[in-house]
């Protein structure tokens, strides 16, 4: 679903300039000898003594100046506490009021005997589409998978047509028949809330009489193509699309969800308008670094599961951990 290479390019590294050169210490010029009185009286001796004192004072002053130049500058003071902020790449982000934060205990995440991420009280799942082709669902269920999130369909990114996933009917029959809980998602390219509602209606019609125990997710992703109809879509409109989709799903009695990655969450969506919905986070790795709270976590796109040829997305449903009080307050 989510391509981290396309969505999260690494920030360019800063070029290092030439190493700073130490300040050059000027050589002190030799003081001119005062003109000597050809006489040998006390006046000449006094003048000579005064000249010697002046030379000594000038040398002492020069030493003090040079020592001051060679003293290293004090390091800049560390910035003090910045309040309710956090860093994302090279940005300092201000936390949104009213949006719950990530309270999962990082030390409780682990790898199980299958090499998959586990967390106390969480359930293991996968999400699939036509890309996984034909799936042996009993084998999937026997390999430690508790649920599956199935792609119902997608919107074309150039002309905007709505299409069913070619494997959806087979997948929903096979997954439910194998005893797995099922959730759904739609790959959106909506550019208006009205289009997002049309996508939700498409999903509701496809559900029919099937029992859907899991969430029904709005999965809007950026397409790296100059011809994409979604190019230039602003965050406010995208948020309104997600809300429109979720409200229509909610009105039909299902659990609405929004699938997002960190770029979308921090830089595009207004999360304050999505707190009533299940958040499904895509962040690949063994520990989630996302600042805000989330419910489902897609932690890998290269998983292996019996009954599926090739890679498959791996997920954790962490809502059970919350219900059991596994997350700290």
Secondary structure of 104-162 as H, E, C letters: CCHHHCEECCCCCEECCCCEEEEEECHHHCCCCHHHHHCCCCCEEEEEEEEECCCCCCE
Tell me the angle at which helices 235-251 and 193-207 cross, rounded to the nearest 10 degrees. Answer: 30
Kindly indicate the confidence band of residue 2, based on its pLDDT and cuts at 50, 70 and 90: low
Asked whether residue 70 is domain-assigned, the answer is no
Residues 178, 183, 184: CA angle, nearest 5 degrees: 120
Asked whether residue 73 is domain-assigned, the answer is no
Asked whether residue 319 is domain-assigned, the answer is yes
| Residues 46-51, mean pLDDT to the nearest whole number | 52
Kindly indicate the confidence band of residue 38, based on its pLDDT and cuts at 50, 70 and 90: very low
| Residues 182-206, mean pLDDT to the nearest whole number | 98
User: What pLDDT was estimated at residue 29?
Assistant: 36
User: What pLDDT was estimated at residue 67?
Assistant: 46
Percent of the chain scoring above 90 in pLDDT:
72
The total number of structural domains that make up the chain:
1
Single pTM value for the model: 0.75
Distance CA 300, CA 260 (A): 14
- Residues 281, 247: contact at Cβ < 8 Å? no
| Residues 168-181, mean pLDDT to the nearest whole number | 98
Asked whether residue 69 is domain-assigned, the answer is no
- Residues 100, 292: contact at Cβ < 8 Å? yes
User: What pLDDT was estimated at residue 83?
Assistant: 52
Kindly indicate the confidence band of residue 1, based on its pLDDT and cuts at 50, 70 and 90: confident
Asked whether residue 161 is domain-assigned, the answer is yes
Domain CATH code at residue 268 = 3.20.20.80
List the single range of 70-84, 231-245, 265-279 with lowest mean pLDDT.
Answer: 70-84
- Residue 47 scores a pLDDT above 60: no
User: What pLDDT was estimated at residue 20?
Assistant: 36
On average, the pLDDT of the chain sits at: 83
Asked whether residue 289 is domain-assigned, the answer is yes
Distance CA 45, CA 31 (A): 18
List the single range of 60-74, 210-224, 237-251, 310-324 with lowest mean pLDDT.
Answer: 60-74
- Residues 187, 219: contact at Cβ < 8 Å? yes
Task: Pick 31 or 248 by higher pLDDT.
Answer: 248
User: What pLDDT was estimated at residue 12?
Assistant: 34
Give the domain range for residue 244: 104-323
- Residue 23 scores a pLDDT above 90: no
The pair of three-digit structure tokens given for residue 248, joined into one six-digit string: 């229509």
Kindly indicate the confidence band of residue 72, based on its pLDDT and cuts at 50, 70 and 90: very low
Asked whether residue 202 is domain-assigned, the answer is yes
Cross-strand bridge partners of residue 86: 93
Asked whether residue 63 is domain-assigned, the answer is no
pLDDT in tens, 146-167: 999 999 999 999 999 999 999 9
- Residue 33 scores a pLDDT above 50: no
């Amino acid at each position: 679903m989510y391509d981290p290479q396309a969505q999260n390019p690494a920030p360019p590294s800063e070029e290092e300039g030439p190493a700073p050169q130490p300040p050059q210490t000027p050589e002190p010029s030799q003081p001119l000898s005062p003109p000597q009185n050809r006489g040998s009286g006390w006046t000449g001796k006094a003048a000579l003594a005064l000249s010697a004192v002046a030379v000594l004072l000038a040398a002492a002053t020069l030493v003090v100046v040079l020592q001051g130049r060679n003293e290293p500058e004090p390091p800049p003071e560390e910035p003090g506490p910045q309040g309710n902020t956090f860093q994302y790449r090279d940005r300092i982000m201000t936390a949104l009021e009213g949006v719950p934060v990530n309270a999962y205990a990082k030390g409780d995440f682990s790898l199980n005997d299958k090499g998959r991420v586990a967390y106390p009280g969480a359930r293991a799942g996968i999400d699939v589409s036509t890309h996984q082709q034909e799936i042996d669902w009993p084998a999937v269920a026997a390999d430690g998978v508790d649920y599956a999130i199935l792609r119902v369909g997608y919107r074309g990114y150039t002309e905007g047509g709505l299409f069913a996933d070619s494997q959806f009917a087979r997948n929903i029959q096979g997954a439910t028949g194998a005893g797995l809980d099922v959730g759904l998602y739609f790959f959106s390219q909506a550019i208006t809330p009205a289009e997002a509602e049309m996508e939700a209606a498409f999903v509701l019609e496809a559900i029919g009489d099937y029992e859907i125990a899991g969430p029904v997710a709005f999965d809007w992703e950026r397409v790296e193509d100059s011809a994409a109809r979604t190019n230039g879509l602003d965050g406010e409109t995208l948020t309104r699309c997600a809300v429109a989709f979720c409200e229509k799903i909610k009105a039909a009695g299902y659990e609405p969800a929004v699938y997002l990655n960190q770029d979308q969450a921090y830089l595009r969506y207004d999360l304050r308008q999505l707190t009533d919905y299940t958040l499904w986070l895509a962040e690949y790795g063994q520990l989630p670094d996302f600042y805000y709270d989330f419910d489902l976590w897609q932690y890998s796109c290269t998983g292996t599961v019996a009954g599926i040829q090739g890679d498959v997305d791996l997920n954790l449903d962490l809502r059970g951990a919350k219900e059991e009080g596994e997350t700290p307050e």
